């Protein structure tokens, strides 16, 4: 049993642990940084988008093969910090094989959690996150305003890929920190 699973029955405990960024770095994130899942390009892609954070130089590209509104294949490439890369890696694992609608809900939940729009110290709020699952380990990023953009870049890029926005940037008019997400 992994350390985070031991606490999985108690959301409050879990969040407390998640808030400890050092633990965050030491565990799952570093593992995904070192061995990113679905790293590469989907050759028969039906959708793709590029994401870029000019302030730190993070950039990544996501390719998707959609079938019957399901994410049949997904991959990402690019260069970025550990938080961005592990976020992208875990995102691809979470959405692969899922209906697009579920992925959109997950994007929404991830953004609300990491941008602090949802105060997770309130238990009812934590219960609203029905799809987040293991990705809850990124909750601690909300405490680091300068790193939030790193964590959310893959998610905005996935959203952009669905919406066929060719390229997004954290510093353009389509700023993920402020752009509307949902049915756009």
Among the listed ranges 18-26, 103-111, 115-123, 152-160, the one in contact with other proteins (CB under 8 A) is 18-26
- Residue choice 7, 25, 39, 174 for contact with other proteins (CB under 8 A): 25
Widest CA span of the chain, in angstroms?
Answer: 44
Which residues ranging from 89 to 148 are in contact with other proteins (CB under 8 A)? 144, 146-147
- Residue choice 19, 21, 105, 165 for contact with other proteins (CB under 8 A): 21
3-state class (DSSP) for residue 70: strand
Residues 6+ apart with CB under 8 A from 64: 42, 45, 46, 47, 48, 71, 73, 74, 158, 161, 162
Is there a contact between 53 and 150 (Cβ–Cβ < 8 Å)?
yes
Which is closer to other proteins, CB of 102 or CB of 143? 143
Is 65 near other proteins (CB under 8 A)? no
Separation between Cα atoms, residue 135 and residue 146, nearest integer Å: 19
Residues that bind other proteins (CB under 8 A): 21-22, 25-26, 30, 33-34, 55-58, 79-83, 144, 146-147, 150
């Amino acid at each position: 049993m992994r350390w985070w699973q031991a606490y999985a029955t108690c959301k409050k405990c879990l969040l407390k642990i998640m808030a400890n960024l050092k633990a965050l770095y030491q565990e799952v994130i570093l593992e995904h940084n070192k061995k990113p899942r679905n790293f590469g390009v989907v050759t028969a892609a039906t959708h793709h988008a590029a994401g870029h954070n000019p302030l730190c130089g993070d950039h990544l590209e996501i390719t998707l093969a959609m079938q019957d509104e399901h994410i049949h294949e997904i991959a990402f490439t690019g260069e970025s910090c550990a938080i961005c890369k592990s976020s992208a890696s875990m995102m691809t694992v979470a959405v692969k094989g899922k209906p697009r609608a579920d992925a959109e809900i997950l994007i929404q939940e991830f953004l609300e959690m990491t941008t602090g729009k949802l105060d997770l110290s309130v238990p009812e709020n934590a219960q609203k996150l029905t799809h987040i699952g293991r990705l809850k380990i990124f909750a601690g990023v909300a405490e680091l305003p300068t790193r939030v953009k790193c964590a959310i870049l893959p998610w905005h890029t996935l959203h952009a890929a669905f919406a066929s926005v060719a390229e997004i940037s954290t510093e353009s008019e389509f700023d993920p920190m402020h752009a509307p997400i949902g049915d756009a």
